[in-house]
Amino acid sequence: MSEPDNSPNADRSHSMSRKEDLHSMRKSTKAIHAGALEHSVYGEISVPIFQSSTFIFPSAEEGAARFAGQSPGYIYTRMNNPTVNALEENVATLENGFAGIATATGMAAITTVFLTFLEQKAHVVSTDCLYGSTRTLLENELPRFGVESTFVDSSNIENVRRAMRPNTRMIFIETPTNPTMKISDIRAAAEIARQHGALLVVDNTFASPYLQRPLELGADIVIHSLTKFINGHSDVIGGMIVTAKEETYKKTRKLLNALGGTMDPHQAWLILRGVRTMPLRLEKAQQTALQLAAFLHAHPKVTWVCYPGLPDHPQYEIAKKQMDGFGSMLCFGVARGIEGGATLMNNVRLITLAVSLGGVESLIEHPASMTHTSIPRQEREQAGILDELVRLSVGCEDFEDLREDLEQALNKIP
């Protein structure tokens, strides 16, 4: 009787076959299985945490070959790590991209993309309503290096077209926007970018690859804060860059290795664990978000509701066309402005008053005084971030419990 082959390469052919098959499978299957190692060490089903700063070379010749890029082996975790690579492959597969690049934070991903593709005298056309730190970077920091930005309401694609210049190198959009929930037409923006020889970069954090895949619509680069829906448990931060083409990937990877904003393997393992349940979490959360949006729409202390799944949302038809669902983020206005919002947030009992989003727990916050306070008031209001706006990240709790909590807190507004 022959002994079983327990060598590291014993299951390689099976793993490679499954990896190739994954590209034709559905997104929930990809979330669970993409990123599996090509071979296991002991037959483990979970990707191990390779908590090692450096890796042994079997020979001097192999070490030289790895540094020369002639061998795919590992050198140093800042450059590559098996656990981090597993996460990169998982998210890239979900986005149907060429490859992923994991970063220490979402802002590390955004900064790396900007520094890779923007040079002196370059111009960026950007969504006006952005994550606060992204706008601060474009508006206050990059001009020190000779980069200019024009901020427009990209939900009207003609605004993007009119803002283009001969030196425009990038169109940067968030869709849905943070926190106003506006939707931009990705395919139309990609066409404008191509016509002008510019890159289209999409921050896909609010939708996640489960609901929206910008690369399929013509984008060149997709960015995620992995902290949010992809991880989904409010316990780790991280970022991801996914490119459509190999050339873009290599250029971005090279700069990230030089900057050092890379991800730790333990971070990667936690996020890889989280992404496996993303489809389940998002299906539950977005179902509840639609119910809550309808409830809020009818409440007398709520002045307006913005949720892409409501037919009165201005870009409802675009959302239906380019998204697989409407997500679990919404914003709404409350009577009595900031005072009313403070009353609401100070009186919720189940919903947590905290920034961030995309976790299993529901979170509520006031962008004008919290996440977007670094943006001058006039610019905030021009972007639609009004004092009365409250942002709600709907989690996986029961709808009735969330509804009751919001109702009792809203009823305390004078």
CB-hemisphere CA count at 13 Å for 225?
19
For the question of residue 42 being annotated catalytic, the response is: no
From 128, 153, 185, 203, the catalytic residue? 203
DSSP letters for 28-74: HHHHHHTT--SS-SS--SSPP----SB---SSHHHHHHHHTTSS---
CB atoms within 10 A of CB 202: 29
From 12, 18, 19, 78, the catalytic residue? 78
How far are the Cα atoms of 93, 169, 204 from residue 135, in angstroms, in the given order?
Answer: 29, 17, 16
For the question of residue 21 being annotated catalytic, the response is: no
From 27, 30, 66, 228, the catalytic residue? 228
Task: Report residue 320 as tokens.
Answer: 């239906």
Is the omega angle on the peptide bond into residue 176 within 30 degrees of 0, that is, cis? yes
d(CA 112, CA 182): 25
Closest CA to 81 of 302, 301, 256: 256
For the question of residue 203 being annotated catalytic, the response is: yes
From 74, 131, 210, 249, the catalytic residue? 131
Helix axes 265-275, 82-95, angle to 10 degrees: 40
d(CA 346, CA 340): 10
For the question of residue 76 being annotated catalytic, the response is: no
* Residues recognised as catalytic: 78, 131, 203, 228
